[in-house]
Structure formats: structure tokens, C-alpha cells
């Protein structure tokens, strides 16, 4: 790939702190990898171990390290390559630091979200959960952990906490530590504390000459404090991101870190990568038109570098939701007949609740589709069989086992599996440390479940790995119990809570992705790209979504937490960023769909301000209603109360029936209001 002038400038800016403002599809990863190689080439005293790169996920880290290695080989810098260079998540790096400097945390295990939930479920009383009036239900556990996370974020202001808040926090932290665990937030908090108090750790930081932070818009305030420690220790900073793509506010991401970077750090060079190499010019124009409605953002103007695409962007309104889904299925079939692989087509939804209904229309149309929704996994045939196999361990019954695995294992294979399960069951207490995942893996081996000749081998592999992941998570917290108790407990977990706990987990491995339409939430589409993208249900209250009610962390904690509750609250600008991310997943075709059953999305109306968007079956009045946030319900009420009653002086004869007014579409209501001078 030949670099643009701005990309090359970014690669060669290695003597100043660099803020790389990278629009969607701008090739930022290529720039990062080449910049790292350039540093090693131009700075003979800089070795790979002097460079640290933070990525948002371990998968992204592994991919980036492979790309760095390839660039180094191309430049002839093969001696050692990227060996010794840390490329990965902030959390994994922090654990390495603590392991080196802190004997206390050396053998601690870091719990991910699911394991932390399991921990609080088992040790709720000692954690302090009940002191906050919270039960052991999944929602209350989630709420309790959100409270603890917010307290970690607010730790510098702990002198302002109430005595009870402080005591509950200490209970939670003490309980975790007594069992040898850290959660993600406490991991970074303890790392920051260690940096302040441990001279050896301070010396470690000084060895980092260059720090690169990818997806910088997604770091939270605690992570930003850690990055600042590197800067104070002398590291050159390179942060890469796009404040317009900050979509993880619910996890603590703060776009202000990106927006205010040049004011917080000295000697900053800002470079904007505004060339989009992914999307057709029409799609770029729609995306840019919408995102410019956000007030507080870094100024940038995305430019398309791909060829223009005829009819690239279409907006359409349908009479019903069903007609909308029928049209999606028809368009997918048409695009596929034109040579577009199913896997290059995506349907992105704001809310996961639409996935099942859309999937039903795709099935009717004979269209293969895939969603990494956990629901699909938990309803799968093999998942149910593995659950039954675990339940059989209570009372191993050969006919029950044969019925369970009919069509997968027969004869000697089934007999071998039965003998193995009976052996495990008879061992009883002697198997209390035997991992449940090991039991299932060995059983699967006995019945030759992963026979390479099986036509659905990929599905079998993913399902086995998925079940084993859940069992390993459960055993992390409950592994000290006897086998019978663990089996009973994990069966309850699988039946009542697992689907909710793992609803954001992807149980499919990357190397087994089918040629199928990708049906997913917008959040899960981040970092992906497709030839064709459909955005259905662009309705008011759906996208942008309305703020959900219910009990929140500030209701539980009160005090300063309630005073600062808007810090992580999503607003219209945040929703617009999510829409921007969705639009920029499309390379050649973008479809914006809504229905006449409810007012159109404000974002549909904003997109219609672009001349690149073709409108079909959309009333301009419907767009005006959405654009100016006209309260149609209130206008309808005024017409019924004032106009229909003849309350306006000089009103000409009223020929509308009240029922006609009640049934009128938003666009018709707007026209009635104009005709009869009803204030809007």
C-alpha cells in the first residue's frame, strides 16, 4: 500500500507526541505498524522492548503484532523482529507489571465480567452486596458491580464518600483479595498505586520509550491516568482514534480524553487522516452530513477515495415492519444474484430484540444468515446435548445417553463414552478438582465428536469450545466444590442465568465464519466492513434509542454519585456517533429503512440533508417532523381539543371526523396543523 502524504507524515513523526485523528476507513492500523517499524529503523538505540502498543482487544493485539513483524521483514529488520515488544490490552500489561513488582498480587487471577458476576453471586454477603439492599439476582449483581466500578473511577475523591460507601467498597475489595482475585477496574487502580509507591516499577516505566494507544477514544478515565504515568516517565505518546466513533460510553469510554489530548500533553503534533478508502463517496457524504450535527467534536472532514457508486444510498419508508423485512430479504437476494457473497452483506440493528424477527424473514426467503448472538448458541442442538450429558452424571443411564447422542455416536463410540462417564460418576469426591470442561472434552473424544468428516465439524468445534468456556468460568469460582455439587450448580446456572451473562459473547471462532448474511447489533459491527449494509427500524425511540428507566447505580449509592450521574449517560450526540459507525461499515451500498407506524428517526432526516441519499416512499413532512423533533402526539391532541371543537375563531367548516384525526399519519397531522393554524 502506498501511503498518502498525511499517512507518511504520521509515520515519520517520531520525535513529538502524536495525536492521530483517524476517520473511518483511513488505514490507521497500517500507519501504526509502519510507524513502529520506522522508529526501529531510524532509532538504533530503540529496541522492540522499548515500545509498547495498547489495543482494545487481545485479538486486535495479535493481529497488529503480526503486521508489525511483516513490515519489519519487508524493511530488512528481521533480527529479533517484534519479539520483546508488548502489543496487547492495557489490562494484560498491568497484570504483567504487578506480577513483576508486587509479591501480593503475583498469583492473583484477573476476573473478567462473567467470572466477577459469579464471584458476587457466591460471596454476596462478604462483598457487601446486601448492605446496599441488593439481592443475588442477575440484575442486582450487575447493578452492584456497576456501583463498584464507579467507585473505583471516583477513588481520588473518596474523602467525599459516606462512611457506608467506603465500608462497602472495602468489603468488596477485601473479599476479592482474600480469594486471590482482581477485577478489571481494581487491576488498574492497584497498578497506579504500585507505580506511585514502587521504585522498581517506576524504573520499568522509564524503559518504555514509545507508547502507542489504538482506539484511544475508547479509553476510560482510569486508563487515561495510566497513560499519563508513561508520559511523566518520559515515553513518547502516539494516540490513535476518532472521537466520532466513541460508542462504549456505557463501559466508561470518555471522548473528552481524545478531544482534550493536545491540551493535556506538551509538544503534540495533530495529524488528521481524513481519506476514507473503504466507502463509496455517496456513503461518506451521508455519514459526514449526519455527524456534523454533533456539537463538541474534533474538526475533520472525511474524504472518499473509492469510486462513485450508482444508487449507493437509499432511504425508504414502509407501511409496516413486515414489508420492511420482506424488502430486505428481496434486496439481499438481488445483491447476491449480482455476485455479492452473503458474508459481504450485513443487517445492523440498534437493539438486539429485532434479530429474531428479521432472522425469520431471512429463513422464509431461503437466505443463510449468521448472528453471533448468544441466544443462537444456547438454543443450539449440541449445547442442549452437552447439558443433558452433564445431568446424566448424577445417574449415568445408557439408554438416556444413547437417546441424547442419537445420530452422533453409536456402537463402540457410545459405549466408550458411557464407560468414561460411569467412571467419573463413581469417583465422586475423588474428582472434586476435576474440571468440568475436562470431563466434556474427554467424553467428546471418546465418542469422536470432532470427527473431521462430519459435515458440520466447524459448528461442533465452536459449540464444544463454547460450552467448555462456560464450564471453565464456573469452575474458576466454584472449582473447590465436590463434583456432584458443581454439576448441580452449573446446571442451575446454565438453565437460569448463563444466556443473560453471555449475551455479548461471541461463541463462533473467526476461522469458521460461514458464507451467510451477518445479522448483528451496531456495537458488534465496530471494526468490520461489508459491501452492503441495511439499517432497519430507523424510528424515533429506537434509533436514537430512548434513555432506559429503572434503578441505576446513583439510586443505590446516592450522594456525589447521584450529583455526577450524567458523566456516563448517553445523549443524542452519543447515539449519532453510533449511527455514524453503522453507516461507515458499508463499502458500496447503504439502505436506511423505517416504517410509517412510528415517526422516523432524527438521523434519517439528517441523512436526507445529503444530496447523495435517494428517498423512496418518504414524505418530506415525515422528515421535517423528525428533523425538528415535532411532538406529533401533542399536535394531534391540540387538533382534537381545539380545532375539532371549533375553538379557533374564524375557523371554516370542519369536515374531519375525530377518528380520522386519531388515525392520521404524522405527515397528515402536520398538514392539518398547517391548514388550521394549529401551533407546532
DSSP letter for each residue of 406-433: TTT--HHHHHHHHHHHHHHHHHGGGGTT
Q: E strands of 170-274, at which residues?
A: 181-183, 210-213, 236-241, 268-273
DSSP element (H, E) containing 588: strand 586-595
Angle at 485 between CA 427 and CA 381, to 5 degrees: 90
pLDDT in tens, 448-485: 998 877 788 888 888 899 999 999 999 999 998 888 88
Nearest CA among 344, 348, 320 for reference residue 524 = 348
Rounded distance, CA 187 to CA 338, Å?
51
- Longest CA pairwise span in the chain (Å): 93
At 646 the pLDDT is 52
Which DSSP category does 538 fall into?
-
Give the pTM.
0.87
Q: What are the grid coordinates assigned to 661, written together?
A: 384525526
How far, in Å, CA of 210 to CA of 224, rounded? 16
| Average pLDDT over every residue of 180-204 | 91
Rounded Cα distance between 515 and 370, Å, is 9
Q: Would you give the distance in Å from CA 545 to the centre of its chain?
A: 16
Preceding omega of 450 cis (within 30 degrees of 0): no
The pLDDT of residue 510 is 47
Q: Which of 13, 85, 17 is nearest to 237 (CA)?
A: 17
Q: 246 with 580: CB under 8 angstroms?
A: no
The reported pLDDT for the residue numbered 511 is 45
* Relative orientation angle of helices 321-337 and 355-364, to the nearest 10 degrees: 50
Instruction: State whether residue 199 is helix, strand or coil.
Output: helix
The x, y and z cell numbers of residue 309, run together, are: 457508486
- The CA distance from 34 to 12, in Å, is 9
Count of beta carbons in the 10 Å neighbourhood of residue 614: 15
Distance CA 586, CA 313 (A): 10
Indicate the SS3 state at residue 541: strand
The whole-angstrom separation of Cα 531 and Cα 452 is 32
The mean per-residue pLDDT over the stretch 231-239 comes to 96
- Element housing 20 (H / E): strand 17-22
In 528-583, beta strands by DSSP E: 530-535
And the C-alpha cell for 123?
460471596
Distances (CA, A) of 191 to 52, 61, 154, 201, 205: 16, 21, 16, 9, 12
Overall average pLDDT of the 520-528 stretch: 90
Q: Would you tell me how many other CB atoms lie within 10 Å of the CB of residue 361?
A: 20
Could you write out the DSSP letters of every residue in 241-270?
Answer: E-GGG---GGGT--THHHHTHHHHSSSEEE
- Compute the distance between CA of residue 418 and CA of residue 443 in angstroms, rounded to an integer: 8
Q: Taking residues 440-454, report their average pLDDT.
A: 88
Per-residue confidence at 433, pLDDT binned at 50, 70, 90? low
Interior CA angle at 372 toward 366 and 375, to 5°? 90
What is the Cα Rg of the chain in Å? 28
What whole-number distance in Å separates Cα of residue 90 and Cα of residue 59?
Answer: 13
CB neighbour list of residue 13: distance below 8 Å, 6 or more residues apart:
35, 269, 271
- Three cell numbers written together for 210: 514509545
Residues 368, 372, 374, 377, CA torsion sign: positive
29-38, 102-111, 283-292: lowest mean pLDDT where?
A: 102-111
> Containing H/E element for 592?
strand 586-595
Give me the pLDDT at residue 429, please.
Answer: 52
Mean pLDDT of the chain: 88
For 287: left if phi > 0, alpha if psi spans -120 to 50, otherwise beta; the answer is alpha
pLDDT at 513: 55
Judge whether residue 129 has pLDDT over 60.
Answer: yes
Predicted confidence band of residue 293 (pLDDT cuts 50, 70, 90): very high
Query: What residue spans of 406-547 are helical by DSSP H?
Result: 411-427, 436-446, 457-478, 483-496, 498-501
Q: Decide if pLDDT at 509 tops 90.
A: no
Candidate from 281-290, 514-523, 587-596, 649-658 with smallest mean pLDDT: 649-658
Mean pLDDT of 85-105: 89
Tens digit of each residue's pLDDT (9 = 90 or more) over 365-399: 999 998 866 777 888 889 999 999 999 888 888 89
| Tens-digit pLDDT profile for residues 138-175 | 889 999 999 999 999 889 888 889 999 999 999 999 99
pLDDT band at 95 (very low <50, low <70, confident <90, very high): very high
Site of grid cell 452437552: 386
Q: Bridge-partner residues for 595, per DSSP?
A: 318
Contact 224, 263 (CB under 8 A): no
Residue 238 main-chain phi, psi, to 5 deg: -130, 110
Q: Which residue has the cell 428517526?
A: 601
Judge residue 373's burial from the number of C-beta atoms within 10 Å of its C-beta, 0-12 exposed, 13-18 middle, 19 or more buried.
Answer: buried
How many angstroms separate the CA atoms of 653 and 464, rounded? 72
Comparing 542 with 506, which gets the higher pLDDT?
Answer: 542
Q: Which residues contact 381 (CB under 8 A, 6 or more apart)?
A: none
Q: Which of 614, 17, 662 is nearest to 317 (CA)?
A: 614
Query: Is residue 249 within 8 Å of 223, Cβ to Cβ?
Result: no
pLDDT confidence of residue 643: 64
Amino acid at each position: 500500500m502506498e501511503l498518502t502524504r498525511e499517512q507518511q507524515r504520521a509515520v515519520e513523526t517520531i520525535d513529538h507526541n502524536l495525536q492521530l485523528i483517524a476517520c473511518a476507513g483511513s488505514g490507521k492500523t497500517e500507519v501504526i505498524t509502519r510507524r513502529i517499524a520506522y522508529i526501529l529503523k531510524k532509532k538504533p538505540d530503540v529496541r522492540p522492548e522499548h515500545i509498547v502498543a495498547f489495543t482494545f482487544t487481545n485479538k486486535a493485539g495479535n493481529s497488529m503484532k503480526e503486521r508489525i513483524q511483516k513490515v519489519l521483514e519487508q524493511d530488512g529488520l528481521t533480527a529479533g523482529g517484534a519479539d520483546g515488544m508488548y502489543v496487547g490490552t492495557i489490562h494484560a500489561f498491568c497484570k504483567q507489571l504487578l506480577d513483576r513488582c508486587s509479591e501480593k498480587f503475583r498469583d492473583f487471577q484477573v476476573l473478567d465480567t462473567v467470572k466477577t458476576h459469579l464471584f458476587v453471586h457466591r460471596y454476596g454477603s462478604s462483598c457487601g452486596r446486601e448492605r446496599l439492599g441488593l439481592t443475588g439476582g442477575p440484575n442486582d449483581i450487575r447493578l452492584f458491580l456497576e456501583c463498584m466500578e464507579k467507585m473505583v473511577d471516583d477513588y481520588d475523591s473518596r474523602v467525599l464518600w459516606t462512611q457506608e460507601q467506603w465500608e462497602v467498597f472495602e468489603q468488596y475489595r477485601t473479599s476479592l483479595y482474600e480469594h486471590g482475585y482482581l477485577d478489571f477496574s481494581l487491576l488498574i487502580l492497584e497498578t497506579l498505586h504500585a507505580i506511585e509507591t514502587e521504585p522498581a516499577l517506576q524504573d520499568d516505566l522509564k524503559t518504555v520509550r514509545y507508547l502507542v494507544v489504538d482506539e484511544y477514544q475508547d479509553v476510560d478515565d482510569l486508563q487515561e491516568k495510566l497513560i499519563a504515568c508513561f508520559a511523566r516517565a518520559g515515553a513518547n505518546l502516539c494516540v490513535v482514534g476518532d472521537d466520532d466513533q466513541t460508542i462504549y460510553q456505557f463501559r466508561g469510554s470518555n471522548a473528552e480524553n481524545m478531544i482534550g489530548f493536545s491540551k493535556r500533553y506538551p509538544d503534540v503534533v495533530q495529524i488528521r487522516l481524513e481519506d476514507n478508502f473503504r466507502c463509496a463517496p455517496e456513503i461518506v457524504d451521508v455519514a459526514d452530513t449526519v455527524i456534523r450535527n454533533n456539537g463538541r467534536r474534533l474538526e475533520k472532514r472525511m474524504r472518499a477515495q473509492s469510486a462513485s457508486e450508482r444508487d449507493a444510498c437509499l432511504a425508504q419508508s414502509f407501511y409496516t415492519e413486515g414489508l420492511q423485512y420482506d424488502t430486505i430479504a428481496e434486496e439481499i437476494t438481488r445483491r447476491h444474484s449480482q455476485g455479492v457473497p452473503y458474508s459481504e452483506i450485513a443487517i445492523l440493528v440498534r437493539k438486539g430484540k429485532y434479530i429474531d424477527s428479521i432472522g425469520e424473514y431471512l429463513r422464509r426467503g431461503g437466505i443463510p444468515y449468521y448472528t453471533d448472538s448468544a441466544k443462537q448458541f444456547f438454543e443450539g442442538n449440541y449445547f442442549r446435548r452437552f447439558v443433558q450429558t452433564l445431568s446424566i452424571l448424577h445417574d449415568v443411564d445408557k439408554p438416556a445417553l444413547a437417546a441424547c447422542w442419537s445420530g452422533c455416536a453409536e456402537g463402540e463410540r457410545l459405549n466408550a463414552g458411557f464407560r468414561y462417564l460411569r467412571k467419573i460418576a463413581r469417583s465422586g469426591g475423588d474428582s472434586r478438582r476435576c474440571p468440568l470442561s475436562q470431563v466434556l472434552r474427554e467424553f467428546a473424544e471418546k465418542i469422536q465428536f470432532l470427527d473431521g468428516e462430519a459435515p458440520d465439524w466447524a459448528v461442533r468445534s465452536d459449540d464444544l469450545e463454547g460450552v467448555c468456556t462456560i464450564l471453565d468460568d464456573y469452575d474458576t469460582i466454584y472449582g473447590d466444590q465436590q463434583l456432584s455439587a458443581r454439576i448441580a450448580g452449573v446446571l442451575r446456572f446454565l438453565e437460569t442465568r448463563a444466556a443473560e451473562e453471555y449475551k455479548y459473547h461471541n461463541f463462533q471462532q473467526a476461522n469458521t465464519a460461514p458464507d451467510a448474511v451477518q445479522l448483528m447489533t451496531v456495537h458488534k459491527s465496530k471494526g468490520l466492513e461489508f459491501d452492503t449494509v441495511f439499517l432497519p427500524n430507523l424510528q424515533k425511540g429506537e434509533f436514537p434509542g430512548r434513555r432506559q428507566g429503572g434503578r441505576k447505580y446513583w439510586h443505590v449509592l446516592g450522594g456525589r454519585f447521584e450529583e455526577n450521574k450524567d458523566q456516563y449517560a448517553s445523549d443524542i450526540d452519543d447515539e449519532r456517533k453510533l449511527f455514524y459507525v453503522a453507516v461507515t461499515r458499508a463499502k458500496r451500498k447503504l439502505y436506511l429503512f423505517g416504517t410509517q407506524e412510528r415517526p422516523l428517526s432524527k438521523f434519517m432526516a439528517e441523512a436526507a440533508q445529503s444530496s447523495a441519499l435517494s428517498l423512496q416512499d418518504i414524505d418530506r413532512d415525515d422528515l421535517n417532523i423528525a428533523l425538528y423533533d415535532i411532538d406529533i402526539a401533542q399536535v394531534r391532541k391540540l387538533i382534537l381539543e381545539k380545532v375539532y371543537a371549533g375553538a379557533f375563531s374564524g375557523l371554516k367548516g370542519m369536515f374531519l371526523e375525530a377518528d380520522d384525526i386519531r388515525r392520521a399519519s404524522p405527515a397528515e397531522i402536520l398538514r392539518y396543523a398547517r391548514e388550521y393554524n394549529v401551533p407546532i
